Each structure stands twice: as C-alpha cells, then as structure tokens.
Structure 1
C-alpha cells in the first residue's frame, strides 16, 4: 500500500474515531471514566486531523499515531506493547517458535551481516552455510548495506519456496540455493548423561512443544540409566504458560496447583493444575537458575521449589510475575497487555518490580525487602515473594578478566574461530576437544596486529580518584603517589594473555566448537567447567545432603 493510500486510510479511521467519540460523549456523565477516555480520544483524533491540515510539511499519520501509542504504553510496563499488522508474523514466531525460512540466526559482527548460527537439520545447515558467512545478496538484491531485520524478512517465506543466498567465506564468494521449510526450533538444544547415573537437560525456551521436548529427553535419559536429573533453565526467558505447567507435570502428580493468575477482571482469574500422570515423581532433581531465568522458567522452578520436589542451584531469577494477554485490534493489529500476576503454589507472587510506583526517571521500583512477605513450601521451608525465585544453594556468577571481555566483545575470538574453521575440517567431540598450547600460541600470534586494548577495574578506579582529586584540589598533594600507583597496576596485554590463559582458552573452545557442532555443541562444551553443574552433581550424589536441603 502506497503512502497516499495509507494516509487516506489513517485519516478515515481517525475521522471515524472522532464521530464515534462525539456520539459517545453525548451519553457519558462528566464524572465517568469512560467520559474521560472518550474525551481524550476525541482530542487526540482532532489533533492528528489539524496537524495534517496545517503542519508546514507533510506528515505520516501512521508514524505519528504509532509513536503516540508506544509512548503511552511505555508509561505502564515493558511488557505491554502494540503489535502492528506488519509485525504480526514476527510476534507469532517469537511465541510459537515456528516460521517459514532457512533456519539460521543472523546478525551483525565486525560491521558485516553474517550467519551466526545455522540450526541443525534445517535448510541453512544442510545447504552448507556456516557461522561467519557474510551475507552479500538474497536472490537478486544486494543486502550489504541493509540491516539484519530486513535481511531476516527476505530470508523468511512460505515453506517449499526457493531462495538464493550469496555469501562471502574467507576470500571465496559462494551462491547457495535453499528451499525454505517450516522451521520449528527445539526447546531442548542438548541433553545427555553427565556420568553413569546423572542426566542433564538444557531447556532454552518455552515455545510450542517445550514440554514434549523435555518429556522425550527425560524418557530417553531414563532409558540410558539416569537415576538423577539436572534441569537447566538458566538464561531461559520464558514463553507459553501451558508448556510451563506441563513441564512441572512431568515431576508432579495429577491435580496439583502449579500457578494461578489474579487480575482486575474476573475472567483472567484462573487456577492451573497438573492434568496428567507424571513421568517420574521421585527422581532426585536439581533445577539450575540464574538472573536471566524469567516468567515460565520461574513458574517451573518456583512450583518445584514450593512442592519441595527439586533443589534449586544458581542465582536469583529475574522476577517477572506479570501475565500478558493478546487482544485483537482493528486492521489486524494487536496489543499485548499485562492483565494479571502469577502466584505459585505457596501463594507468593514472583514479580520483582512494581511498575505502578515509578522513580524520578520513570523506572519501576524494586519491591523493598521490608515489604516482602514470607510463605512456606510443602515441607515448611520459608520462601519470600516480590523478588524472583531464590536458589536453595547460591553460586556466584563467574567474572571474566577485562582482556577476555575485550577479546570477545571486539569479535576477535569470533573472527579467529572463522579462520580456524577454514583450515580444519573437523575437531574432536565438544567434551573431548581442548585448546592446546599450539592452538593458543597461534591465536596469540594472530592477535599481534589486532587492536584489543582495555581498561581494568583497578585502572578505572585510579582514574576516577585522579579526577576527583583534581576537582577537590588534592591532586598536587598526592600526584606522586598516584603516579606510582598507576605504574604498579598498569596492565600488560602480553602478560594478561599468560595470566588469564585458561579462561581465554575456554572462550576459544566454545566459539570453535560451535562451528562444528552448532547450538548443541556450545552447551555440551561448557559442561566440563561449570560451577553450578559441579555443585549439582555433588548434591545429587549425597542423598543426605539432598534430603536436608529440602527440609526446613
């Protein structure tokens, strides 16, 4: 639809709103909230009409209205959002995990649009596309200067349709013809046995079939001899509520409450219970959580904690206890609006931020500890509301050295892995492959003409001290000591490459493994040096410790 037609349609719509509001205004009493809504809609529609008539330049009503809508919704919470017709497909893909396309994650690295992850078993991977391939052309369109969102839309399309992708790999330019398929990304990128008795399942999302994916993994692991289980929902942002309930149901008997939703309207107040027989209600279970586990992840972890069915290890979760419902609007648009809050079996709400109470910058306020309420699990353990799900055993997050952070964020580890892959057809399995000294020395030599300088935390602290000393007139008194301190803590990139060799090796390993074993390989490669998994195995091996952690 061209701009003129869109503009006419927008103005006709606004005119209809004005007429409708004028009609409604004649019936609403002055003190009625509906009168206030109708009045302000009338003002808004009139404003757009007058701007279109009198503003010095041509205006785009669609754009102005969208800006107004989005600004209005930002006053509420981050989860209430307007979804215009043109974004409906992307929204559906996010919630279902299904779309038509080539099955690859793309993004911008080193200033170029690249394949970041071809999903195993789908057209991109089967057609030979690799991580690091620079996308030059889609069909006959040059996409070098386009943004990744536009390229992504071009790559998507109905299943069984062809698309041609021209990529640059090293010094070669390659054209690949792919046949799009219906893409359904698995919610379980990896599962396997950690030892002779402990199974592990990585659950990365709660899109369609999440519970089925976990069920299949659980049944298979039990067939392999798993007598204990680790369920990993770290970094899982959540998704479909029904899938979360069914994941809990794998470990909890039929008829047990998992979560209830409570909102302003009666029709959103619902109690959700397990409806099936569990796969295993007795297997010792650890759930791994962290600060990026949110929403459905928190429902699973919180419900299993409330029933004392699992030991939670890791760090406090994000704290998203708000429920969104999608409401259709005119012209195939939608609004995703917060309609209720989640309450898990103990009765606690896990929402950490109160968006009805904003600070001076317009941000929601964290629920203060003084207002958090105590609840009890089935066994009588005390748990708190208002701040996410807290683990039964906390493991501090790993802090990387500034040099490692610099090498990763500047995409130097990424770029080296690309070059390594061009020279090496294969590497051992993810858990066997290691970065030996020969590979590491080659990486260090490769870095010799690359820029990756950085500032350590100590150096930044001294720089801040120097700045405040100058501001408060103390600099002349302490400048000698400051100079000596700066000299003693000044970092050496060459020395840091030696000092932090082990963690840089781990970053290199993860990146290189992803080139050969994809998403599954990244997870598997990380298992050997994972503090949370090491603690989980320790807890599961000690039956007395496991039982003690589930008691008051």
Structure 2
C-alpha cells in the first residue's frame, strides 16, 4: 500500500512540473489535459489490477496532498467530510459541549474547558480521563474520531464516561450540545494600576470587535497604556487583522497590500472606521509562533511607529490564501498572493518557489534582505518575519521541566492537587509553598521521567570521538569521573530548577480552578515579555526614543 501511494504521489508531482514547463497557453492546456488523462487511466488500471482492494478516496487524497505539498504548506485540499472542521477554524464556532481533549501518555484527557458552556456547567473537570462517549469505548480512537463523537447538532444529547482522580469507579456525565464560540480574546485585564493587557489568540470573525471592546473596558478600569499579546497566534482572517489595526490607527490608513499572479488578487486594504484610540501607548508581544494576520498587525503598528514590538522574531508567513469550491462539496485552500506591510516589506521567510535539490526550502539569506523605513524613518527589513524593537532573552526550559511536562506528571499532579484542595487564592496571588513543593517531589518518587541533559549528550559525543580517535584509554578515568559528577548534579535538578518547576506547576494548578483566565493570570509576575513591556510603557522617555516620537 505504501509503494502504491508513492507511485500516485510521484505521478501527480510529475504532472505539476510538466504543467509549469510550458509557456504557450495552447501547449500548456494540452499538457494539462494529457496528464490528467494519463492519471485517470493509471488509476483505473491500478484499481482494476492491483493485488489488494484500493480505497479511491484515500488513495486520490494522498496523491492530491503530495501534489499540493510541492507548492507550500498552506495550499490544502479539504474534502467534504472535513469542511465542518475548516469552518470551525474560520469562524471559531461549533456545536459541542465546550471541552478540549488531548492524548497524554496514551490516555484521552480533558485538557481545557470553555467557560460558561455545558462541559463546565455539568461537572466535567480538566484532568478527567475519557473512556466512553455515548457508551462507545474511545480508548483506542484517534483525535479526529473522538471529535466527531463529541460534536453534533445543537440541542442533541451526549454522555461522557470518565475516570477522575480520587474516584474509584467511572463517572457518567450527561450534556446537551450547544453552539460554542471560541473567543479571539480569551482574556483581558489589568497587569498594574494603569496598564491593561489583552490576550488575543485567534483571528476569526469579530476579532476586531473583541479587541475594541476589551480596550474600552480596560480604559474604564483606569488603563492608560496597553499590552497586546499576539504570542503563539497563528493568524486567520486578513480583514480581522485590518479591523484590529483600525482600533489603534486612523481611518483611511493602508494596513496591508496583496500581490498575486492574477490582477484580481492585487488589493490594498485600508482602515474603514473611526479608531478607538490613536494615542494610548501600546506594547505588542510577539514570538516565533506569531504568524500571518498576527504579523500584519505587528508590522503595521511598527511601520506607523504606533507602538513598541517586544519579544522574539515572528514566524515569517507573508502568504495569503483563498478558498475555492470544488466538485462534491470539497474545497481548495490555495495561496493566491503575497502580502506587504505599509512600508512595502514582505515578511515571508521561506522561498517555496525555489527548492533545494533534496526538496527542502531555504530561508531568504540576510544578504538578500531589503531595508525599508517606518513612518519615522526607522529601519525595518523584509524576508524573515517581524523583528521586535526590543528582543527579550528567555530562560531556557530545563530538560527536567520538559520531561515532567511531556510525561504528563505536572498535569496529573495538578489534578491531584485540585481533588485535595477545595479552593485556592486568586490566580494572580497563588503560590505553592515550599512544603507543598516538597510534597510534589515526594510524589514523583518511583515515577518514570528519564531525561538526558545537554551536558550528558556532549559527554556521550566526546566518549564516542575518543573511541574513534583511539584516545579513550588515556582519558577513560576523566570521562568516568565527569559522568559521575554529572549524575550527581542531575539528582539535584528538582531543587536546582525549583523556581521554574514551581511556576509551571502553579500555572497548571490555577487552570483547574479558574480555567484559561487563571492559567494566563498566574504568569504575570514571571513572564519576561510582560515585565519588559511594563518597564517600557512606564518609561515614556525610552518609549518615545524607540519610536522616534521626540
């Protein structure tokens, strides 16, 4: 079966490259028709002659996916049975109970609850292990299959059978599905007496209105400066990026322009409405997970010197997609243009039109990046995401922290803590005591969370080189002594990285009591990007100097 899929993928790739090799329209269309006929007859022969049964839907989709993958990762085929999931991504709406599930150590766990919906209201908890949905065993199902069972028509019923920490027997909980809207702004609040904070995670419909409403509510609470957090936001609807920018930038200002192969894809998008506030100081937080529409917002704010960009270089996705209808209710999401910020820069980092011999895609080299200028003549560059005005150095996640998190031990301990404590302090104030942290370390005894430190990897490489170059016998003693020292030091990692582990634990625990709001608020005191933003916003002289406002 695997070989068969490779054959089909190769045929489709050959078809694509053949099509692009011809410049004459007549010759081009002839080659399209010829290759499509070859593909159709090839499939008929395989279907008739291949030793095993061929699933046409699966096999053709593999071929289509391989063809589109040769273009870029964002051009995708969406078959009819996946249209609903695509709509959910675009609108943020679906019919369900408001619970997010995920696999952890092979078990299906409730990872988060959407506040105010059936899952929370009817007693489901983060950390519950789902074993049945409507009496159907789901322990061996994949995420897509579980999602299909969880979702359904609004006002229909569904039951979940779960295992919960502290309960010997499974619990069966009944829910009525309802329309669930995932918020673009899951949280907004005050991080100090006069600094408001807006966390934006999506760009679905109404994102601009949600940011506008959040800004005005915060101003009513005394906010005189704003942090807009776009970290980890992968983007979404282009027009919502325009609407969000319009919250802070005057009507009639260019936000983004698009340029494609077809004239109809060349457009300029300007702000259409009166802004909410063109004066309030802004700090926009970005990182390597901020992409597409997030980069349009950050890039426009930067180009107009409207606010300070803080954090890490953004992802670098400067491509625009449109959906096109296909036969049998399928759709094609296809890249139609590149987008450009007001200064004229395209921040696309990877050049998919020129692949390496091995098929990989290279980044735009620094030597080819072009300098552009903001409104106040600050230098900015294209070809590689949005560079922050202030780059923040972040503490590296320790191997022990990664291991405990990826093995689900921090998640499971938070569930244990929740079962044993009826309530905790507000999320902003919650801290684990030293005694409680010690309880955590004792609970870990006997648990499997093996990990390898960078120092151990380096020592292993050094040992292998010593063997290869015949030096091992001479330095064997030193290598063994170093290994012993490393193992002794590693045994203290739970205490050497106590502060980091406590922070991660506190965030996980607060989510059990206050859901996503609690998880966000618990980070305020130790989040280096937020702390940097507060420092800059509180220093008007430095803020103005960065933006050349003086």
Q: Aligned to 1:102, which of 80, 97, 105?
A: 97
Q: Which moved more, 1:33-42 or 1:249-258?
A: 33-42
Contact 2:283 2:307 in 1 (8 A): yes
Aligned match of 1:509: 506
Give the Cα separation in 2 of the matches to 1:30 and 1:494: 69
The alpha carbon displacement at 1:478 in A equals: 2.4
Task: Verify: 1:269 aligned to 2:261, yes or no.
Answer: no
Aligned match of 2:437: 440
The alpha carbon displacement at 1:389 in A equals: 0.1
Task: Verify: 1:90 aligned to 2:103, yes or no.
Answer: no
Task: Verify: 1:334 aligned to 2:328, yes or no.
Answer: no
Q: Aligned to 1:118, which of 113, 121, 125?
A: 113
Describe how 1:395-474 pairs up with structure 2 within 5 A: 395-474=392-471
The alpha carbon displacement at 1:96 in A equals: 1.1
SS of the equivalent of 1:215 reads helix
The alpha carbon displacement at 1:64 in A equals: 1.5
The alpha carbon displacement at 1:474 in A equals: 2.5
Aligned match of 1:69: 64
Any gaps of 5 or more consecutive residues in structure 2? 1-22
The alpha carbon displacement at 1:30 in A equals: 9.5
Aligned match of 1:152: 147
Aligned match of 2:297: 300
Q: 1:491 to 1:183 in 2, by over 3 A?
A: farther
Number of aligned residue pairs: give it: 525
The alpha carbon displacement at 1:533 in A equals: 1.1
The alpha carbon displacement at 1:50 in A equals: 1.1
SS of the equivalent of 1:428 reads coil
Describe how 1:259-408 pairs up with structure 2 within 5 A: 259-408=256-405
Contact 1:456 1:491 in 2 (8 A): no
Q: Aligned to 1:185, which of 170, 182, 185?
A: 182
Aligned match of 1:20: none
The alpha carbon displacement at 1:57 in A equals: 2.2
Give the Cα separation in 1 of the matches to 2:358 and 2:503: 40
Task: Verify: 1:175 aligned to 2:172, yes or no.
Answer: yes
SS of the equivalent of 1:490 reads helix
Contact 2:394 2:528 in 1 (8 A): no
Aligned match of 1:21: none
Aligned match of 1:50: 45
Task: Verify: 1:549 aligned to 2:546, yes or no.
Answer: yes
Task: Verify: 1:536 aligned to 2:533, yes or no.
Answer: yes
Contact 1:115 1:135 in 2 (8 A): yes
Aligned match of 2:12: none
Any gaps of 5 or more consecutive residues in structure 1? 1-27
Task: Verify: 1:36 aligned to 2:31, yes or no.
Answer: yes
SS of the equivalent of 1:517 reads helix
Q: Which moved more, 1:130-139 or 1:51-60?
A: 51-60
Give the Cα separation in 2 of the matches to 1:493 and 1:365: 38
Q: Aligned to 2:486, which of 489, 502, 506?
A: 489
SS of the equivalent of 1:312 reads strand
Contact 1:453 1:493 in 2 (8 A): no
Q: 1:205 to 1:112 in 2, by over 3 A?
A: same
Give the Cα separation in 2 of the matches to 1:471 and 1:267: 62
Contact 1:29 1:35 in 2 (8 A): no
TM-score, normalised to structure 2, is: 0.93
The alpha carbon displacement at 1:172 in A equals: 3.3
TM-score, normalised to structure 1, is: 0.93
